[in-house]
Chain A
């Protein structure tokens, strides 16, 4: 068993965005904005960072990924399908009666999903336990947990943050999709998180703060995290709804499923982005 070959992440991210939009449209599901926000992080993780083997999802030497912000499940399912854990056609069943792809990420019947989530504030603690056990067993595997910013309101995250730093779980990396919006309004108008990076530093974590849509920055941060002797928190500044102009920074798209002209317009924007990228590649 060995890790799958790397994928080119920019193109992967564009495919993930199209999957997320189509899945949310066909399933009439919420959280399209959350999936778009996370797409670059997922593309970098599943494209190049995570050592996983789609042919053997239970490969003991695999890295672990937990989506703690379980409502962005569509993006994980899309990444797993693109990575080869399941056929792309399964994505069409998202949210449908009898499907295994529930809106909040589910491990039952979905190869590659380590942990089911949906209630916020669960993933980091479970990931912390995984990191501790992997270290006890002398393994080199790493554990990645993706959280939302609003999720950091949950006190359980800070229990885990204390524990992971105390035990210097250097094989643990939290990634926070910091798009500045939570369920009803902005983070700033709900429970402000700033100074956010300082909070994690004060808890004893190494912190990388970056543009969560900048693949080179994400790759560099994950590479640095692997060399750090503390757990790392990657604070990824993102834009909710990224890639579809009329969804960007709009709380509405935490709830609304694109349909009709909106769907066509969203896919047109994403296709245009793909064509521009192809032209840039050709030019270069």
Chain B
């Protein structure tokens, strides 16, 4: 996804001389082509994310269209107040790009897991929040975010749904599999696990709709409600804390719209800091975020004992 992003940014810079890439001393080999082609549109801010964000903001307030680039929580949480006070309050045209969403850097430890970013960035007024599910989509959504203008947050992860390119619209949910018995809403590359769960349940005669929510803000309230009205059981899946992320956003949209699913459950990290070592697939399985966990939760919901199942999962994770 990061390669697709930088390809998109390179194409955008060729058209738009206002593009400016400000890196936080990360992007080894990834940014080379961009830098070679547009040396004047690149600056390495060093290992100093507060200043990286402030500089990007100052440049944006002076006519640039700035992109900050770093890993996981460095361009977001480390400099959250610069995003809030400087970028968002001034509606500065700054797009924050974080590689390493969720467990992408699984072996590197909890410092490198972006697992609260979506909730925190979603809380900032003016901020667009996007997490693509495939490299081709990262390209398309980068271009759409550029057309919309900042402030924006683009969360890239190493997972991918593996879907063929199709129509994608910033701010609109995307139905990627049909079904009427239940719906799984998913954000980011972990969409692959939602599709896998739907496949597992299809073999058991359960039709699961899969809806991708690549844009958490602005949130497609009507699109989410429509899917939740059509399917009596609603499950959300995110490589992220269940606090304030996709699950919360779906629940808010449903309840405020008078949509009350027969069953509703969230899959995500249950308010804990992951300390397990392993790659993205291992960590998804370990923390119960993979297709098997999603299928099991849906089965439990359909059988009417989801709450009990959830309690036992919690205990498992806490042990």
When chains A and B are docked, how far (Å) is the Cα of A129 from the Cα of B62? 8
B273 adjacent to chain A (CB < 8 Å): no
When chains A and B are docked, how far (Å) is the Cα of A114 from the Cα of B89? 12
Tell me how many residues of B have a C-beta within 8 Å of chain A. 27
CB pair A163–B46 under 8 Å, yes or no, is yes
Stretch at the interface among B26-34, B53-61, B175-183, B298-306: B53-61
When chains A and B are docked, how far (Å) is the Cα of A89 from the Cα of B13? 47
B85 adjacent to chain A (CB < 8 Å): yes
CB pair A129–B55 under 8 Å, yes or no, is yes
When chains A and B are docked, how far (Å) is the Cα of A116 from the Cα of B81? 13
CB pair B43–A125 under 8 Å, yes or no, is no
Assuming the A-B contacts A107-B90, A126-B86, are A133 and B48 also in contact, with contact meaning beta carbons closer than 8 angstroms in the complex?
no
CB pair A122–B48 under 8 Å, yes or no, is no
> CB < 8 Å: which of A118, A121, A132, A159 contacts B58?
A132
Closest chain A CB from B307 CB (angstroms) = 43
Closest chain B CB from A22 CB (angstroms) = 28
In this complex, what residue of A is CB-closest to B58? A129
Closest chain B CB from A143 CB (angstroms) = 8
A:114-137 near B, CB below 8 Å: 114-119, 121-122, 124-134, 136-137
Closest chain A CB from B192 CB (angstroms) = 38
CB pair A125–B54 under 8 Å, yes or no, is yes
When chains A and B are docked, how far (Å) is the Cα of A131 from the Cα of B59? 8
Residues from chain B with Cβ under 8 Å of A12 in the complex: none
Residues from chain A with Cβ under 8 Å of B40 in the complex: 136
Closest chain B CB from A200 CB (angstroms) = 16
A156 adjacent to chain B (CB < 8 Å): yes
CB pair A163–B61 under 8 Å, yes or no, is no
CB pair A130–B62 under 8 Å, yes or no, is yes
CB pair B54–A160 under 8 Å, yes or no, is yes
Assuming the A-B contacts A129-B54, A133-B62, are A115 and B90 also in contact, with contact meaning beta carbons closer than 8 angstroms in the complex?
yes
A162 adjacent to chain B (CB < 8 Å): yes
Residues from chain B with Cβ under 8 Å of A132 in the complex: 43, 55, 58-59
Assuming the A-B contacts A125-B54, A162-B46, A163-B46, are A130 and B59 also in contact, with contact meaning beta carbons closer than 8 angstroms in the complex?
yes
When chains A and B are docked, how far (Å) is the Cα of A177 from the Cα of B37? 43
- Is chain A's interface secondary structure helix, strand, loop, or mixed overall? helix
CB pair B57–A126 under 8 Å, yes or no, is yes
> Per-residue 0/1 for A124-167: is the Cβ within 8 Å of any B Cβ (1 yes, 0 no)?
11111111111011000000000000000001100110110011
Closest chain A CB from B237 CB (angstroms) = 36
CB pair A129–B59 under 8 Å, yes or no, is yes
B:35-56 near A, CB below 8 Å: 40, 43, 45-46, 48, 50-51, 53-56
Assuming the A-B contacts A156-B51, A163-B46, are A125 and B82 also in contact, with contact meaning beta carbons closer than 8 angstroms in the complex?
yes
Residues from chain A with Cβ under 8 Å of B50 in the complex: 121, 125, 155-156, 159
CB pair A133–B86 under 8 Å, yes or no, is no
Residues from chain A with Cβ under 8 Å of B82 in the complex: 122, 125, 156
In this complex, what residue of A is CB-closest to B57? A126
When chains A and B are docked, how far (Å) is the Cα of A131 from the Cα of B86? 16
Residues from chain B with Cβ under 8 Å of A122 in the complex: 54, 81-82, 85-86
Closest chain A CB from B18 CB (angstroms) = 10
Residues from chain A with Cβ under 8 Å of B85 in the complex: 116-119, 122
B64 adjacent to chain A (CB < 8 Å): yes
Assuming the A-B contacts A119-B81, A122-B86, A126-B86, are A114 and B51 also in contact, with contact meaning beta carbons closer than 8 angstroms in the complex?
no
B63 adjacent to chain A (CB < 8 Å): yes
Assuming the A-B contacts A114-B61, A115-B61, are A129 and B56 also in contact, with contact meaning beta carbons closer than 8 angstroms in the complex?
yes
In this complex, what residue of A is CB-closest to B81? A119
CB pair B58–A127 under 8 Å, yes or no, is yes
Residues from chain A with Cβ under 8 Å of B43 in the complex: 132, 167
> Per-residue 0/1 for B227-238: is the Cβ within 8 Å of any A Cβ (1 yes, 0 no)?
000000000000
When chains A and B are docked, how far (Å) is the Cα of A131 from the Cα of B85? 19
Assuming the A-B contacts A122-B82, A156-B50, are A128 and B90 also in contact, with contact meaning beta carbons closer than 8 angstroms in the complex?
no
When chains A and B are docked, how far (Å) is the Cα of A131 from the Cα of B57? 11
In this complex, what residue of A is CB-closest to B45? A163
A:155-202 near B, CB below 8 Å: 155-156, 159-160, 162-163, 166-167
Q: List 10 A-B contacts (CB under 8 A).
A: A116-B85, A122-B81, A125-B50, A125-B82, A128-B54, A129-B54, A132-B55, A159-B46, A163-B45, A163-B48
Q: A125-B51, A126-B57, A127-B58 are in contact. List 10 more A-B contacts (CB 8 A).
A: A114-B61, A116-B85, A125-B55, A126-B54, A128-B51, A130-B62, A131-B58, A132-B58, A133-B63, A136-B40
| Interchain residue pairs A-B with the least CB separation, the first 9 | A129-B58, A125-B54, A159-B51, A129-B55, A159-B48, A133-B62, A133-B59, A130-B58, A126-B58
